[in-house]
Structure 1
Amino acid sequence: MTNFIPLFPLPLVVFPGEDLNLHIFEPRYKQLITDCYAAKKPFGIPSVINNEVMELGTLVEIVEISKVYDNGEMDIKTKATVVFKILEQIQELPHKLYHGAIVTYPTTKYLGSAPLMKKILQSIRELHSLINVHKDFKKPDESLLSFDVAHHAGMTIEEEYQLLGYDEELHRQEYIKRHLVKVLGVMSQMDLLRTKVQLNGHFKNLEGFKF
Protein backbone atom coordinates (compact mmCIF):
# COMPACT_ATOMS: atom_id res chain seq x y z
CA MET A 1 0.00 0.00 0.00
CA THR A 2 1.21 3.51 -0.81
CA ASN A 3 -0.16 6.89 0.19
CA PHE A 4 0.77 10.49 0.86
CA ILE A 5 1.75 11.67 4.34
CA PRO A 6 3.04 15.00 5.71
CA LEU A 7 6.63 14.80 6.96
CA PHE A 8 8.17 16.08 10.17
CA PRO A 9 11.87 15.06 9.89
CA LEU A 10 13.71 14.84 13.23
CA PRO A 11 17.25 13.85 14.27
CA LEU A 12 16.09 10.72 16.08
CA VAL A 13 14.64 7.28 15.48
CA VAL A 14 11.05 6.65 16.55
CA PHE A 15 10.01 3.03 17.05
CA PRO A 16 6.49 1.64 16.57
CA GLY A 17 4.59 1.65 19.85
CA GLU A 18 6.62 4.55 21.24
CA ASP A 19 4.99 7.48 23.02
CA LEU A 20 6.65 10.69 21.87
CA ASN A 21 6.01 14.14 23.36
CA LEU A 22 7.00 17.11 21.21
CA HIS A 23 7.16 20.88 21.58
CA ILE A 24 6.17 22.43 18.25
CA PHE A 25 7.57 25.89 17.55
CA GLU A 26 8.45 26.21 13.84
CA PRO A 27 5.66 27.81 11.73
CA ARG A 28 5.64 24.99 9.14
CA TYR A 29 5.22 22.32 11.78
CA LYS A 30 2.63 24.30 13.73
CA GLN A 31 0.66 24.29 10.47
CA LEU A 32 1.30 20.58 9.96
CA ILE A 33 0.08 19.65 13.44
CA THR A 34 -2.97 21.92 13.16
CA ASP A 35 -3.91 20.33 9.81
CA CYS A 36 -3.36 16.76 10.93
CA TYR A 37 -5.19 17.21 14.22
CA ALA A 38 -8.18 18.81 12.53
CA ALA A 39 -8.35 16.04 9.90
CA LYS A 40 -7.54 13.29 12.44
CA LYS A 41 -4.72 12.12 10.20
CA PRO A 42 -1.22 10.90 11.11
CA PHE A 43 2.10 12.31 9.97
CA GLY A 44 5.50 10.78 9.40
CA ILE A 45 8.76 11.25 11.28
CA PRO A 46 11.66 10.21 9.06
CA SER A 47 15.07 10.08 10.74
CA VAL A 48 17.59 12.81 9.98
CA ILE A 49 21.18 11.51 10.16
CA ASN A 50 24.19 13.64 9.26
CA ASN A 51 21.83 16.36 7.98
CA GLU A 52 20.17 13.96 5.56
CA VAL A 53 16.53 12.88 5.60
CA MET A 54 16.61 9.09 5.53
CA GLU A 55 14.16 6.93 3.59
CA LEU A 56 12.79 5.12 6.66
CA GLY A 57 10.63 6.63 9.35
CA THR A 58 7.65 5.96 11.56
CA LEU A 59 4.05 7.05 11.22
CA VAL A 60 2.68 8.77 14.34
CA GLU A 61 -0.81 9.68 15.47
CA ILE A 62 -1.58 12.79 17.51
CA VAL A 63 -3.00 11.65 20.85
CA GLU A 64 -3.62 15.15 22.15
CA ILE A 65 -2.54 18.75 21.94
CA SER A 66 -1.63 19.27 25.57
CA LYS A 67 -1.01 23.00 25.48
CA VAL A 68 -1.19 25.88 23.02
CA TYR A 69 0.91 28.93 23.87
CA ASP A 70 0.07 32.56 23.09
CA ASN A 71 2.54 32.56 20.18
CA GLY A 72 0.99 29.44 18.65
CA GLU A 73 3.62 27.02 19.88
CA MET A 74 2.26 23.67 21.06
CA ASP A 75 3.01 20.74 23.32
CA ILE A 76 1.67 17.54 21.80
CA LYS A 77 1.55 13.85 22.67
CA THR A 78 1.88 11.30 19.88
CA LYS A 79 1.86 7.53 19.45
CA ALA A 80 4.06 5.84 16.86
CA THR A 81 2.38 3.10 14.83
CA VAL A 82 4.14 1.65 11.78
CA VAL A 83 7.38 1.93 9.81
CA PHE A 84 7.23 3.62 6.42
CA LYS A 85 9.64 3.94 3.51
CA ILE A 86 9.77 7.10 1.41
CA LEU A 87 9.30 6.51 -2.30
CA GLU A 88 9.20 10.16 -3.36
CA GLN A 89 9.48 13.41 -1.43
CA ILE A 90 7.02 16.17 -2.34
CA GLN A 91 8.83 19.42 -1.63
CA GLU A 92 6.03 21.86 -2.47
CA LEU A 93 2.39 21.55 -1.43
CA PRO A 94 -0.24 24.15 -2.38
CA HIS A 95 -0.68 26.72 0.41
CA LYS A 96 1.42 24.64 2.83
CA LEU A 97 4.68 25.46 4.57
CA TYR A 98 5.56 21.82 5.23
CA HIS A 99 6.31 19.08 2.74
CA GLY A 100 5.38 15.44 2.45
CA ALA A 101 6.08 12.19 0.69
CA ILE A 102 4.61 9.23 -1.10
CA VAL A 103 5.37 6.27 1.14
CA THR A 104 4.94 2.53 1.36
CA TYR A 105 4.71 0.40 4.48
CA PRO A 106 7.10 -2.56 4.79
CA THR A 107 5.78 -5.62 6.58
CA THR A 108 7.03 -5.68 10.16
CA LYS A 109 6.83 -8.99 12.02
CA TYR A 110 6.71 -9.24 15.80
CA LEU A 111 7.20 -12.94 16.56
CA GLY A 112 10.57 -13.39 18.24
CA SER A 113 12.28 -15.58 20.82
CA ALA A 114 11.17 -15.32 24.45
CA PRO A 115 14.44 -16.82 25.83
CA LEU A 116 16.49 -14.41 23.69
CA MET A 117 14.45 -11.43 24.90
CA LYS A 118 15.01 -12.58 28.48
CA LYS A 119 18.78 -12.50 27.88
CA ILE A 120 18.49 -9.06 26.28
CA LEU A 121 16.63 -7.72 29.31
CA GLN A 122 19.24 -9.17 31.66
CA SER A 123 22.00 -7.50 29.64
CA ILE A 124 20.19 -4.14 29.54
CA ARG A 125 19.68 -4.22 33.30
CA GLU A 126 23.32 -5.15 33.79
CA LEU A 127 24.32 -2.18 31.62
CA HIS A 128 22.01 0.15 33.55
CA SER A 129 23.43 -1.08 36.83
CA LEU A 130 26.98 -0.37 35.63
CA ILE A 131 26.12 3.21 34.67
CA ASN A 132 23.82 3.74 37.68
CA VAL A 133 20.64 4.27 35.67
CA HIS A 134 17.16 2.96 36.37
CA LYS A 135 14.57 2.64 33.60
CA ASP A 136 11.00 1.42 33.83
CA PHE A 137 9.85 -0.37 30.68
CA LYS A 138 6.19 0.18 31.71
CA LYS A 139 5.28 -3.32 30.53
CA PRO A 140 5.66 -6.83 31.96
CA ASP A 141 8.86 -8.49 30.75
CA GLU A 142 6.94 -11.13 28.83
CA SER A 143 5.16 -8.42 26.80
CA LEU A 144 8.30 -6.55 25.74
CA LEU A 145 9.49 -6.49 22.13
CA SER A 146 12.72 -5.25 20.58
CA PHE A 147 11.22 -1.86 19.74
CA ASP A 148 10.17 -1.42 23.39
CA VAL A 149 13.72 -1.76 24.73
CA ALA A 150 15.88 -0.45 21.87
CA HIS A 151 16.24 3.09 23.27
CA HIS A 152 17.52 1.60 26.54
CA ALA A 153 20.38 -0.38 24.98
CA GLY A 154 22.77 2.54 24.46
CA MET A 155 22.79 2.49 20.67
CA THR A 156 23.78 5.36 18.41
CA ILE A 157 21.20 6.92 16.11
CA GLU A 158 22.83 5.07 13.20
CA GLU A 159 22.46 1.75 15.03
CA GLU A 160 18.86 2.49 15.97
CA TYR A 161 18.11 3.38 12.35
CA GLN A 162 19.59 0.08 11.18
CA LEU A 163 17.39 -1.73 13.71
CA LEU A 164 14.32 0.07 12.34
CA GLY A 165 15.03 -1.45 8.95
CA TYR A 166 14.84 -5.09 10.08
CA ASP A 167 11.50 -6.66 9.19
CA GLU A 168 11.79 -9.69 11.50
CA GLU A 169 11.57 -9.46 15.29
CA LEU A 170 14.13 -12.25 15.67
CA HIS A 171 16.63 -10.30 13.56
CA ARG A 172 16.04 -7.21 15.71
CA GLN A 173 16.58 -9.24 18.86
CA GLU A 174 19.83 -10.70 17.54
CA TYR A 175 21.04 -7.22 16.57
CA ILE A 176 20.38 -5.83 20.06
CA LYS A 177 21.98 -8.87 21.69
CA ARG A 178 25.19 -8.47 19.66
CA HIS A 179 25.28 -4.77 20.46
CA LEU A 180 24.94 -5.43 24.19
CA VAL A 181 27.66 -8.10 24.15
CA LYS A 182 29.98 -5.53 22.58
CA VAL A 183 29.02 -2.71 24.95
CA LEU A 184 29.28 -4.85 28.08
CA GLY A 185 32.67 -6.08 26.90
CA VAL A 186 33.86 -2.49 26.60
CA MET A 187 32.44 -1.68 30.05
CA SER A 188 34.32 -4.66 31.49
CA GLN A 189 37.58 -3.43 29.97
CA MET A 190 36.92 0.04 31.39
CA ASP A 191 36.44 -1.43 34.87
CA LEU A 192 39.71 -3.34 34.49
CA LEU A 193 41.48 -0.17 33.35
CA ARG A 194 40.00 1.77 36.26
CA THR A 195 41.30 -0.89 38.68
CA LYS A 196 44.77 -0.74 37.14
CA VAL A 197 44.87 3.04 37.37
CA GLN A 198 43.76 2.96 41.00
CA LEU A 199 46.47 0.41 41.87
CA ASN A 200 49.21 2.45 40.21
CA GLY A 201 51.69 3.65 42.87
CA HIS A 202 50.45 1.23 45.53
CA PHE A 203 52.69 -1.41 47.08
CA LYS A 204 52.05 -4.61 45.17
CA ASN A 205 52.20 -8.06 46.71
CA LEU A 206 52.92 -10.12 43.58
CA GLU A 207 54.33 -13.58 43.19
CA GLY A 208 57.45 -13.73 41.02
CA PHE A 209 57.45 -15.70 37.78
CA LYS A 210 58.85 -19.22 38.18
CA PHE A 211 61.26 -20.14 35.36
Structure 2
Amino acid sequence: MIEKELPLFPLNLVAYPGEELNLHIFEPRYRQLITECVNNNTTFGVPSYVLSKIEYGTEVRIVKLEKTYDDGRMDVRTVGMGIFKVLDFVSPWPGKLYAGGTVEMIKADHDGDVVLQEELFKLANDLFEWLGMEGLVKFDQKMLTYAIAHKIGLSKEQEYELLKTTSEKKRQEFLINYLKLTIPIVKQMEQAKDRIRQNGHFKHLDALDF
Protein backbone atom coordinates (compact mmCIF):
# COMPACT_ATOMS: atom_id res chain seq x y z
CA MET A 1 0.00 0.00 0.00
CA ILE A 2 1.10 3.57 -0.72
CA GLU A 3 1.45 6.03 2.14
CA LYS A 4 1.53 9.79 1.66
CA GLU A 5 1.13 12.98 3.64
CA LEU A 6 -1.89 15.13 2.83
CA PRO A 7 -3.49 18.33 4.08
CA LEU A 8 -6.81 17.19 5.58
CA PHE A 9 -10.21 18.89 5.39
CA PRO A 10 -12.66 16.79 7.47
CA LEU A 11 -16.30 17.11 6.40
CA ASN A 12 -19.56 15.56 7.53
CA LEU A 13 -20.12 13.96 4.14
CA VAL A 14 -18.86 11.17 1.91
CA ALA A 15 -17.04 11.97 -1.32
CA TYR A 16 -16.43 9.18 -3.83
CA PRO A 17 -13.73 8.72 -6.47
CA GLY A 18 -14.79 10.44 -9.68
CA GLU A 19 -17.40 12.57 -7.90
CA GLU A 20 -17.47 16.33 -8.34
CA LEU A 21 -17.47 18.14 -5.01
CA ASN A 22 -18.09 21.90 -4.95
CA LEU A 23 -16.99 23.67 -1.79
CA HIS A 24 -17.58 27.14 -0.36
CA ILE A 25 -14.50 27.96 1.71
CA PHE A 26 -14.79 30.57 4.44
CA GLU A 27 -12.66 29.52 7.45
CA PRO A 28 -9.13 31.03 7.46
CA ARG A 29 -7.48 27.62 7.98
CA TYR A 30 -9.15 26.14 4.91
CA ARG A 31 -8.59 29.28 2.85
CA GLN A 32 -4.91 28.70 3.58
CA LEU A 33 -5.20 25.02 2.59
CA ILE A 34 -6.91 25.76 -0.72
CA THR A 35 -4.55 28.63 -1.57
CA GLU A 36 -1.50 26.43 -1.02
CA CYS A 37 -2.98 23.55 -3.02
CA VAL A 38 -3.79 25.88 -5.93
CA ASN A 39 -0.36 27.53 -5.86
CA ASN A 40 1.52 24.22 -5.60
CA ASN A 41 -0.86 22.16 -7.77
CA THR A 42 -1.26 19.61 -4.97
CA THR A 43 -4.15 17.53 -3.66
CA PHE A 44 -5.80 17.33 -0.25
CA GLY A 45 -7.82 14.79 1.67
CA VAL A 46 -11.45 14.88 2.77
CA PRO A 47 -11.86 12.51 5.72
CA SER A 48 -15.53 11.60 6.15
CA TYR A 49 -16.44 12.68 9.68
CA VAL A 50 -19.63 10.63 9.72
CA LEU A 51 -19.28 8.30 12.70
CA SER A 52 -17.68 10.91 14.97
CA LYS A 53 -14.18 9.75 14.10
CA ILE A 54 -11.48 10.42 11.52
CA GLU A 55 -10.75 7.16 9.71
CA TYR A 56 -11.54 6.90 5.97
CA GLY A 57 -11.79 9.54 3.31
CA THR A 58 -11.12 10.56 -0.28
CA GLU A 59 -8.20 12.37 -1.87
CA VAL A 60 -9.43 15.21 -4.08
CA ARG A 61 -7.81 17.52 -6.58
CA ILE A 62 -8.87 21.05 -7.36
CA VAL A 63 -10.39 21.38 -10.81
CA LYS A 64 -11.06 25.10 -10.69
CA LEU A 65 -10.99 28.01 -8.28
CA GLU A 66 -14.37 29.28 -9.37
CA LYS A 67 -14.50 32.53 -7.42
CA THR A 68 -12.60 34.49 -4.79
CA TYR A 69 -14.58 37.03 -2.76
CA ASP A 70 -13.29 40.36 -1.44
CA ASP A 71 -13.33 39.03 2.13
CA GLY A 72 -11.21 35.97 1.20
CA ARG A 73 -13.98 33.41 0.86
CA MET A 74 -13.71 31.03 -2.10
CA ASP A 75 -15.84 28.79 -4.29
CA VAL A 76 -13.82 25.83 -5.49
CA ARG A 77 -14.59 22.86 -7.73
CA THR A 78 -12.91 19.56 -6.87
CA VAL A 79 -13.11 15.96 -8.02
CA GLY A 80 -12.57 12.80 -5.99
CA MET A 81 -9.58 10.60 -6.76
CA GLY A 82 -8.70 7.67 -4.48
CA ILE A 83 -9.79 6.37 -1.10
CA PHE A 84 -7.50 6.45 1.91
CA LYS A 85 -7.31 5.39 5.54
CA VAL A 86 -5.97 7.95 7.99
CA LEU A 87 -2.93 6.64 9.85
CA ASP A 88 -2.01 9.84 11.65
CA PHE A 89 -4.19 12.94 12.10
CA VAL A 90 -2.48 16.10 13.34
CA SER A 91 -4.46 19.28 14.01
CA PRO A 92 -3.07 21.73 13.33
CA TRP A 93 -0.32 20.46 11.05
CA PRO A 94 3.05 21.94 12.10
CA GLY A 95 3.37 25.46 10.74
CA LYS A 96 -0.15 25.46 9.30
CA LEU A 97 -3.61 26.58 10.37
CA TYR A 98 -5.23 23.42 8.98
CA ALA A 99 -4.95 19.72 9.84
CA GLY A 100 -2.88 17.15 8.01
CA GLY A 101 -1.44 13.71 8.39
CA THR A 102 -0.26 10.45 6.95
CA VAL A 103 -2.74 8.37 4.98
CA GLU A 104 -2.64 4.93 3.40
CA MET A 105 -4.13 4.80 -0.09
CA ILE A 106 -6.66 1.97 -0.49
CA LYS A 107 -6.80 0.06 -3.77
CA ALA A 108 -10.45 -0.28 -4.81
CA ASP A 109 -11.63 -2.83 -7.37
CA HIS A 110 -13.83 -1.45 -10.17
CA ASP A 111 -14.66 -4.72 -11.95
CA GLY A 112 -18.21 -5.62 -11.04
CA ASP A 113 -20.55 -8.43 -12.04
CA VAL A 114 -22.51 -7.88 -15.28
CA VAL A 115 -25.64 -9.66 -14.01
CA LEU A 116 -25.60 -7.71 -10.75
CA GLN A 117 -25.10 -4.51 -12.73
CA GLU A 118 -28.25 -5.12 -14.76
CA GLU A 119 -30.25 -5.89 -11.61
CA LEU A 120 -28.91 -2.78 -9.91
CA PHE A 121 -29.93 -0.47 -12.76
CA LYS A 122 -33.37 -2.05 -13.03
CA LEU A 123 -33.98 -1.51 -9.30
CA ALA A 124 -32.62 2.05 -9.42
CA ASN A 125 -34.96 2.89 -12.28
CA ASP A 126 -37.86 1.23 -10.45
CA LEU A 127 -37.18 3.43 -7.43
CA PHE A 128 -37.26 6.59 -9.51
CA GLU A 129 -40.46 5.51 -11.25
CA TRP A 130 -42.21 5.01 -7.90
CA LEU A 131 -40.95 8.40 -6.76
CA GLY A 132 -42.27 10.00 -9.94
CA MET A 133 -38.75 11.13 -10.81
CA GLU A 134 -38.05 9.03 -13.88
CA GLY A 135 -35.97 10.91 -16.39
CA LEU A 136 -34.37 13.16 -13.77
CA VAL A 137 -31.41 10.83 -13.41
CA LYS A 138 -30.10 8.85 -16.36
CA PHE A 139 -28.62 5.55 -15.26
CA ASP A 140 -25.92 4.30 -17.61
CA GLN A 141 -24.86 0.66 -17.67
CA LYS A 142 -21.23 1.80 -17.44
CA MET A 143 -21.80 3.72 -14.21
CA LEU A 144 -19.90 2.45 -11.20
CA THR A 145 -21.64 2.05 -7.87
CA TYR A 146 -19.93 5.26 -6.69
CA ALA A 147 -21.91 7.21 -9.29
CA ILE A 148 -25.21 5.70 -8.14
CA ALA A 149 -24.76 5.81 -4.37
CA HIS A 150 -25.62 9.50 -3.82
CA LYS A 151 -28.71 9.31 -6.02
CA ILE A 152 -30.82 6.67 -4.26
CA GLY A 153 -31.27 8.05 -0.75
CA LEU A 154 -28.59 6.28 1.27
CA SER A 155 -27.93 7.62 4.75
CA LYS A 156 -24.49 9.10 5.41
CA GLU A 157 -23.66 6.00 7.45
CA GLN A 158 -24.57 3.76 4.51
CA GLU A 159 -22.57 5.95 2.11
CA TYR A 160 -19.59 5.64 4.46
CA GLU A 161 -19.94 1.88 4.61
CA LEU A 162 -19.87 1.78 0.82
CA LEU A 163 -16.75 3.98 0.80
CA LYS A 164 -14.91 1.40 2.94
CA THR A 165 -15.95 -1.49 0.67
CA THR A 166 -13.09 -2.16 -1.75
CA SER A 167 -14.87 -4.68 -4.03
CA GLU A 168 -17.17 -3.35 -6.79
CA LYS A 169 -19.15 -6.60 -6.68
CA LYS A 170 -19.74 -6.21 -2.95
CA ARG A 171 -20.76 -2.59 -3.52
CA GLN A 172 -23.24 -3.78 -6.16
CA GLU A 173 -24.67 -6.30 -3.69
CA PHE A 174 -24.86 -3.64 -0.98
CA LEU A 175 -26.89 -1.28 -3.18
CA ILE A 176 -29.13 -4.07 -4.52
CA ASN A 177 -29.99 -5.16 -0.97
CA TYR A 178 -30.70 -1.54 -0.01
CA LEU A 179 -33.01 -1.03 -3.00
CA LYS A 180 -34.84 -4.31 -2.37
CA LEU A 181 -35.64 -3.08 1.14
CA THR A 182 -36.40 0.51 0.13
CA ILE A 183 -38.64 0.08 -2.93
CA PRO A 184 -41.48 -1.79 -1.11
CA ILE A 185 -41.52 0.97 1.53
CA VAL A 186 -41.65 3.70 -1.13
CA LYS A 187 -44.36 1.76 -2.97
CA GLN A 188 -46.43 1.46 0.20
CA MET A 189 -46.03 5.18 0.95
CA GLU A 190 -47.04 6.19 -2.58
CA GLN A 191 -50.12 3.95 -2.39
CA ALA A 192 -50.99 5.46 0.99
CA LYS A 193 -50.73 8.95 -0.51
CA ASP A 194 -53.16 7.92 -3.24
CA ARG A 195 -55.64 6.66 -0.66
CA ILE A 196 -55.31 9.87 1.34
CA ARG A 197 -55.96 11.98 -1.78
CA GLN A 198 -59.14 9.99 -2.46
CA ASN A 199 -60.44 10.41 1.07
CA GLY A 200 -63.49 12.67 1.14
CA HIS A 201 -64.16 12.44 -2.58
CA PHE A 202 -67.35 10.95 -4.01
CA LYS A 203 -66.56 7.43 -5.11
CA HIS A 204 -68.28 5.26 -7.68
CA LEU A 205 -68.29 1.85 -6.06
CA ASP A 206 -69.76 -1.39 -7.35
CA ALA A 207 -71.97 -3.07 -4.81
CA LEU A 208 -70.61 -6.36 -3.56
CA ASP A 209 -72.84 -9.32 -4.38
CA PHE A 210 -73.28 -11.41 -1.24
TM score, norm. by length of structure 1 = 0.88
Instruction: Quote the residue 2:97 is aligned against.
Output: 97
The amino acid of 1:146's aligned partner reads T
Residue 14 of structure 2: aligned partner: 13
Structure-2 change in CA distance of 1:54 and 1:135 (3 Å): farther
Asked if 2 retains the 8 angstrom alpha-carbon contact of 1:24 and 1:74, the reply is yes
Q: Partners in 1 of 2:137 and 2:183 — Cα distance?
A: 20
Give the Cα separation in 2 of the matches to 1:192 and 1:78: 41
- 8 A Cα contact 1:46 1:53, kept in partner: no
- With 122-131 and 106-115 compared, the bigger mean Cα shift is at 122-131
Q: Which residue of 2 aligns with 1:114?
A: 114
Task: Report if the CA contact (8 A) 1:63-1:79 is conserved.
Answer: yes
Q: Which runs of 5+ in 2 are unaligned?
A: none
The answer for the alignment partner of 1:37 in structure 2 is 38
* RMSD, matched Cα: 2.1
Number of matched residues? Answer: 206
Q: Whole-Å Cα distance in 2 between the matches of residues 9 and 168 of structure 1?
A: 24
Aligned to 2:159: 160
Match of 1:193 in 2: 192
1:2: which partner in 2? 3
Task: Give me the identity figure in percent.
Answer: 36
Could you tell me how far 1:194 is from its partner in structure 2? 3.3
Aligned residue type for 1:65:
L
Aligned-partner SS, 1:152: coil
Question: Cα deviation per residue 1:138-160 (whole Å; 9 max; x = unaligned)?
Answer: xx823211011111111000000
Give the counterpart letter for 2:176 in structure 1. Answer: K
Q: Give the aligned partner of residue 23 of structure 2.
A: 22
Which residue does the alignment assign to 1:48?
A: 49
Structure 1 unmatched ranges of 5 or more: none
Equivalent residue, structure 1, for 2:173 = 174
1:86 counterpart SS class: strand
> Displacement of 1:208 after TM fit?
7.4
Tell me the distance in 1 between the aligned counterparts of 2:142 and 2:157. 26
The aligned counterpart of 2:65 is 65
